[in-house]
Structure formats: structure tokens, C-alpha cells
Structure 1
Amino acid sequence: MNNTDPTWRVSTFSDNGTCVEVALAPDGGALVRNSNAREAGTLAFTQAEMAAWIKGIKAGEFDDWS
């Protein structure tokens, strides 16, 4: 691992291997991947995209998914 490799984090709410990992991208955005299928690739989001997503979560826009 070198200093450009992202540091991946998993939510403490993850259970039974159903989890998503997130890391800070070098440009300040976010990287997201499935922890059970890391070889499937990584999604990259800008800071603005992640801010909009988090704002929507906090506002309850995705509560019907739980």
C-alpha cells in the first residue's frame, strides 16, 4: 500500500456481510464499492454529488428503503 491508496471504511451498521465501503478520493470526492465484490469496481462521486446524497438521506428522502 502506498500513500495514494484510499483508506476504505465500512459502516458500523453493516451486518452479515451486506455492506458498502467508502473512501475519500484524492480530489476530495468519494469512492464507493461493494465489500463483497471488490473486483466488480468502484464508483466515484464528486464532493457535490456526495453532499446532495447525504442531504437527501438526512432529509428522509430514502426512508422507504429501510
Structure 2
Amino acid sequence: MSESLPGVAWHISTRSDGIGGNCVEAGPLADGSGRVAVRHSQSPDGATIVYTRGEWAAFVEGVKDGEFDFTA
């Protein structure tokens, strides 16, 4: 069970087609810490991973730089 995260404004990518339920949601914690929570959209009461501001920034920069383009 995930920790209680009241006030998280969950977001799903606009690039998600919504077919098959393979969507990831992310949203900033409402506590002003800059932390970001991530969960599977089809299991909102399941596991949630919380990243620090620095961890999330590193991930976003990696995505922008193509570090996670695993399609070869």
C-alpha cells in the first residue's frame, strides 16, 4: 500500500494513448518540498515512489538528453 499523499496533483503524459493501462502518473507533493511522486495509473492505491527534487531533475534531464531511448 502506498503512503498517504494528500494533495498530489497527478499528471499523465499527453503522449499516453490510454490503451492497455500502461500509464505512469507523476505529481509534486503538496508539502512544498519539491519532491515528486510516481505511480501506475491503473493502481492508484498501489506502490508509489517518491523522488527528491534533485533525483527528479536528473531524470528529466536524462530524458531530454535521450538517455532512456531504449528503442534500437
Provide the TM-score with structure 2 as the length reference: 0.77
Instruction: Give the Cα–Cα distance (whole angstroms) in 2 for the partners of residues 37 and 65 of structure 1.
Output: 26
The alignment covers a number of residue pairs equal to 63
Instruction: Give the Cα–Cα distance (whole angstroms) in 2 for the partners of residues 57 and 28 of structure 1.
Output: 19
- Calculate percent identity across the aligned residue pairs: 38
- Stretches of structure 1 that go unaligned for 5 or more consecutive residues are none
Q: Which runs of 4+ in 1 moved over 3 A?
A: none
**Aligned partner (choices 6, 9, 33) of residue 7 of structure 1:** 9
C-alpha RMSD of the superposition: 1.6
Higher helix share: 1
Larger RCO of the pair (alpha carbons < 8 Å, separation 6+): 2
